[in-house]
Amino acid sequence: MQHSYFPYEPTQQLRVDTQNREIKVIGEGSVSAVPNEISMTIGTRTENRDVQEALKENSAVSNTLLQEIKNLGINDQQIETASFTINPKYDYSDGKSTLTGYEVQHLFRVRVQDVKQAGDVYNATFSSGANVAQDLQFRVTNDDKYEQEAISKALLNAKEKAFTIANTLQLPINQIPILIEEGSVYQSSGSSPKLLAASPPIQAQSLTVSASVKVTYTY
């Protein structure tokens, strides 16, 4: 029996090859997983006519945010800069553009292990001047167990399809497949609105780990 990888083709899930006496099927499986990591992007956006003042204001708030986050027991390895941008602001009127100031935005990506701590991060940072929050995501980092279970379900699903075809067409199918090709394994979850005005009551989301396989049986 061979094992390899294939590009997932959801429109070609069943095929009987009479010339080579093969039945080819795609099996799918999924399992629910409890997220063990929550990541969020938090930061501050400041505007000023003078770019240096905009930078100075943003730096002051950003440093305060970082300290508040660390005061919650979150270490440097859980915090990283997601983006830092400086953009000019223009007023467009009478066919002319006039520079009116600058916008500075500094965003941090923060990873925590539970929803309570995520709520604490929102509380602390928005109380200290944060005005941007986006991309709240739930992840499973220890996903090997869930991936293996999803693949196992996908294999069983493929077997059921193949044997249903064989029994319906009265074909003497062999029990052991000659080829297993592993397709995609992925996590799916929801995400938060792009802008949160205050610390929300965060509810943990259940994730789905899905897998697909293409299996070839002979008869």
Q: What is the pLDDT of residues 162-209, one digit of tens each?
A: 999 999 999 999 999 999 998 878 777 644 433 333 445 676 677 889
Q: Taking a C-beta distance cutoff of 8 angstroms, is the pair 213, 148 a contact?
A: no
Q: Where residue 7 falls among pLDDT bands split at 50, 70, 90?
A: low
CATH number for domain 2-34+142-190+206-218, candidates 3.40.50.2000, 3.30.110.170, 3.50.30.20, 3.10.180.10: 3.30.110.170
Nearest Cα to Cα of residue 122 among 59, 70, 196, 61: 196
Q: Taking a C-beta distance cutoff of 8 angstroms, is the pair 13, 26 a contact?
A: yes
Q: Where in the chain is the domain with CATH 3.30.70.2970?
A: 37-139
pTM of the model: 0.66
DSSP string, 137-179: EEE-SS-HHHHHHHHHHHHHHHHHHHHHHHHHHT----SS-SE
pLDDT at 206: 78
Angle, CA of 205, 209 and 213, to the nearest 5°: 165
Q: Where in the chain is the domain with CATH 3.30.110.170?
A: 2-34+142-190+206-218
Residue 117 has pLDDT above 80, yes or no: yes
- Under CATH, which architecture does the 37-139 domain have? 2-Layer Sandwich (3.30)
Q: Which three-class secondary structure state does DSSP give residue 19? A: coil
Q: How far apart are CA 48 and CA 38, in angstroms?
A: 33
Q: Taking a C-beta distance cutoff of 8 angstroms, is the pair 207, 138 a contact?
A: yes
